[in-house]
Structure 1
Amino acid sequence: MPTERYEPSGDGVFFTHVDWKLIGELNGDESTSERSRSDQSSEDDADAAPIVSIPRYGAYVTSYTYYGVLRYPFAELLYPQEGPYLDGIETQTMTWTDGVLIFHGTYDVDAFGGDVTDGFARVDENETVTIFGGTDAITHGLGFAVSEDAVVVGLDDDSDHDPIDLVDAIVDRSGVGRDRIVDTDDGRWLFDSTGDAQMQYGRWQYGGDDILGVGGNGSLEDERGSDDPVTDSIESVISNLAFAVEEGTMVDRLARFAAIYRDDDTPSESEVREHLLGGIDRPHRIDVGSDRISVRASIDA
């Protein structure tokens, strides 16, 4: 993820990461679960705890990005279903940041030809990445890039910038390894404190008050209310949820949260337990520093 947006602003950098392939294994009908009523009530309490609901909210708002790629003829091929739609295109996870979607998986650049890329042509390439740009009135300004393990697609939204410019910027950062959150001391701490997960929600150097808001898609904070000492003064945060799936149900859930605060407003351990864990009785660990906190909770233990 970049340390700054393509056009820097007080909103900082927003990002999510979702394992769509694993999520596709979940059973949408909770009534098919064999859990007892008491187990169901206990899990509902855990789901409502912000340390769980924040990364799930990230996955929810990420689902709306599909509408930003509808003008790409291959869009539906990138979203995992019952196996790959086309040889050479198979997605596992997706990252959303700074006006682009980054699909992670296994890809063959030769699969991006013919009707799959109607209205696009190769405009640049090197040893690892091929960049495509729109060539007609419908695809003008659109762009995407393909490598063996990623496809970067510029979102077609109301931005003042052409999507292909945002794709170029992301590819440039990845290729030379510069201006990335993970390469800063604080960024490395955030990622090391939370680790890999199937759902992730993050913001970097945010200057506003509503750390959980995403323009146009509502806000988790709207549902939870204001005056939350854990989220009110966050400058940078990663909140994630790791899990496995068995018989269509999430199991072995591990929720992790790491945040850096501004203005000496770091919450106390008791505030974290009340406002982030929501009083759920689960094994957890809370570490509070001078300007940061890290929390982990085993939801299904």
Structure 2
Amino acid sequence: MRVALFLTCVNDMLYPDTGRAVVALLERLGVEVDFPTGQTCCGQAHYNTGYRRQAEPLARRYAEVFYGYDAVVTPSGSCAATVRHAYPRLGALAAEEGRGRGLADALAGLPRTYELTEFLVDVLGVTDVGAYFPHTVTYHPSCHGLRMLGLGDRPRRLLEAVAGLDLRELPGAEECCGFGGTFAIKNPDVSAAMGQDKIRNAESTQAEVLCGADNSCLMHLGGAISRQGSAIRPVHLAEILASTEQRPLQPPAQDGPVRVTTGSIGGEQR
């Protein structure tokens, strides 16, 4: 199976260690992963803000870059949802407006894009990935993963199988964290209040780590954590699953920057 990693622009610019963790995890499970260097933004921000035509070249680029693979894996539910749900609409609307079927035809040849936990559970058929993370963790499901992709209990099943991990139930888990991409920019006060509510709920579990499968959500929540002086640390699910007893992930120090880190994953100290 030819598998490509779609890292996403947020991870590429701010959280590259998440991508390294995905590669380390999949290679440990026997999957050879390619990283096409021509990949760019998927166009989610353009599409969600109403700039549909500006998103079309990015969708076409995505189709070109990932053509010929059997599957594309991404550590982002929101970007996976954009490819799976928004791209077909982009192609259909372009054709309806008389601009030809070029985009629709290009997108029709795309391999399926999987959010990481979907790929692990549905394609590889595993929940125990051999991870080790002896910490208390609570999990926040992102809106796109929960509502658009229907990830269900896949992330939780993977976390429950991690050796040493104590998973705590997050009150109000299905409530939005308040990020919502441009929602956080257009409605900053509401967004910040929602983030504060989420952090208070996470703190009530007395967990050391707030885990999520979307770094955009974790970035927003990390800001709330910093402002509130909370002791809980945000960590991407991929980094927990990539952690092993031989190469353990250490959560960021409580007095350090609110930043996702992979410790020694991939042989590079952070």
On whether the aligned pair clears a TM of 0.5, the verdict is: no
TM-score by length of 2: 0.29
- In terms of fraction of residues, the more strand-rich structure is 1
Structure possessing the higher radius of gyration over alpha carbons: 1
- Structure 1 or 2: more helix by fraction: 2
